[in-house]
Amino acid sequence: MTDEPQAPQGAFSTPQLIASMLKGREHVSDLLFSPGHAPQVEVSGQLLELKFDGLERLTPEHTSQIARDLLGSHEIPKLKLDKEGAADVSYAVPKLARFRVNIFRQRGTYAIVMRVIPSLIPTFEALGLPAHLDEVVHLRNGIALVTGPTGSGKSSTLAAIVDRMNETRAIHILTIEDPIEFMHNHKKATVHQRELYSDTPTFALALRAALRQAPKVILVGEMRDRETIEIALEAAETGHLVLSTLHTTDASKTIERIIGAFPLSDQQTIRTRFSKAFRYIVSQRLLPRGDGKGRIAALEVLKSTMRTREYVEKGENEGKTLLDAMRDGGQDGMQCFDGEIEKLIRSGTVELETGLSYSTNAGNLRLELADYAEENAAKGPARGAAPELVKR
């Protein structure tokens, strides 16, 4: 795809290039700059090359210049990039968009991925979140986690939850992010946002300091290490509500990740503590829509009940799994991935094979959909409409 001619090679402006890449395009989630490729945008999960005059094939010098422009005066990310080979930073083009940027070395050159942060904080309705997740907004303490792979919408979901808290509760909310993504203005609540490196050197230090800053709600951008998990548990146990994310595929894997961060000798104690502290684990997957218009979220929801707390504390075994509890817990507001994916397939929102490829147990789901597959063998799936989750 070709845009209007841009500045000649070696004389381009990074803000102008970014603006041109976004111009006139919907559903752009990421911008990619890689030596040997033209600039690329990701649209609805697919990469698209953009051929600009003089930038038909980016050179290492081009990506190095873009990296310098994006880093600007941020000294700590520069040092991190030199020492560790990768760094995160936030970036904004005034009146256009904000970005979460990752710059990394590969094959001795720099490559850059820029995640587009929507200018408006999404609502529950825009994201298609289950109405009963509003319970998270009114929690007084404990831990609520949103999990999923990169780009599955975790940040958007947390932003929607914080924004609804901001609108409805007169409380102090503190966020610790790397980097700050959605900007929250003070509404009914007071919201303070701290950014890693510019406001604090580590999540753990900021989280420990938060215990002395009188917040009712603490949002930690990511549970990255054992120390952060330990302090988050302490915060939840002392009357705070902790919101955070993990890069895990489902509720069971989330608990395994948390417990596995600790030495074997401490794991049973952590199981017991986490079983009492957790309130919700929401896992997300983004599926391509059958009509080609973006993607749709499937959500798994694990809620703290007597049964799920027991399974977390004592561990899962045959006939006593968190998946069983979620399948049986509809009245409590729980749901599992395959049940939600089945609904998307039957409504025609997602194609059969696409849904199966994103399911937890494709064999079982295929059996559940046997009647649907037979009825629709001779015709294409209906095109249903459903809200789309903003990719973050």
* Structural tokens at position 22: 């976004």
Residue 74 included in any domain: yes
- Say yes or no: 353 and 221 in one domain: yes
- Percent of the chain predicted with pLDDT > 70: 93
Same domain, 70 and 133: no
Per the domain annotation, does 385 fall within a domain? no
Angle in degrees, 0-180, between the axes of helices 267-277 and 306-314, rounded to the nearest 10: 170
Query: Do 40 and 175 share a structural domain?
Result: no
- Co-location of 236 and 349 in the same domain: yes
Q: Could you tell me if 111 and 160 lie in one domain?
A: no
Which residue type occupies 216? K
In a domain, residue 381? The reply is no
Alpha carbon distance 196, 200 (integer Å): 5
Q: Give me the half-sphere count of Cα atoms (radius 13 Å) on the Cβ side of residue 279.
A: 21
Checking if the pLDDT of 179 tops 50, the result is yes
7: pLDDT strictly greater than 50: no
Shared domain check, 143 and 96 = no
Model pLDDT for residues 16-27, shown as the tens digit of each residue: 999 999 987 888
Given a cut of 70, is residue 147 above it in pLDDT? yes
Same domain? 112 vs 131: no
Report H helices in 281-369: 306-314, 322-328, 337-346, 352-357, 362-368
pLDDT band at 378 (very low <50, low <70, confident <90, very high): low
Q: What is the CATH number of the domain that holds 313?
A: 3.40.50.300
Task: Supply the pLDDT for residue 185.
Answer: 95
Indicate whether 73 and 189 sit together in one domain: no
177/87 same-domain check: no
Residues 343 and 315 in one domain: yes
The Cα–Cα gap between 264 and 66 comes to 45
**pLDDT tens digits, residue range 316-373?**
998 899 999 999 999 999 999 999 999 999 999 999 999 999 999 999 999 999 998 8
Average pLDDT of the chain to the nearest whole number? 91
Whether 88 and 169 map to the same domain: the answer is: no
Task: Tell me the CA end-to-end span of the chain in Å, nearest whole number.
Answer: 25
The per-residue pLDDT for 5 is 34
Where does a domain end: 95, 117, 139? 117
Domain end point (choices 86, 117, 148): 117
Give the number of domains in the chain: 2
Q: What is the average per-residue pLDDT within 54-70?
A: 94
pLDDT at 391 (0 to 100): 45
Does 392 map to a domain? Answer: no
Query: Are both 339 and 234 inside the same structural domain?
Result: yes
Tens of pLDDT, residues 280-315: 999 999 999 999 888 899 999 999 999 999 999 999
pLDDT of residue 379 exceeding 70, the answer is no
Has residue 392 got a pLDDT over 60? no
Which strands make up the sheet holding 86-93, listed edge to edge? 46-49, 40-43, 28-33, 109-117, 97-106, 86-93
Q: Which domain holds residue 136?
A: 124-375
* Integer Cα distance of 243 and 218 in angstroms: 6
Rounded-to-integer distance, Cα 363 and Cα 350, Å: 17
pLDDT computed for residue 359 by the predictor: 96
Identify whether 386 is part of a domain.
no
Q: DSSP letters of 161-215?
A: HHHHHHHH---EEEEEESS--SPPPPSSSEEEEEEBTTTBS-HHHHHHHHTTS--
What is the CATH number for 21? 3.30.450.90
Give the residue with greater pLDDT, 73 vs 239: 239
Say which residue, 356 or 181, is predicted with more confidence. 356
Order the strands of the 142-147 sheet from edge to edge. 190-195, 172-177, 217-220, 241-246, 142-147, 278-288, 295-303
Residue 317 lies in a domain: yes
In the block, which residue shows the tokens 């033209």? Answer: 38
The model's confidence at residue 68, banded by pLDDT at 50, 70 and 90, is very high
Residue after which a domain boundary falls, among 84, 117, 150 = 117
CA distance 273 to 361: 30
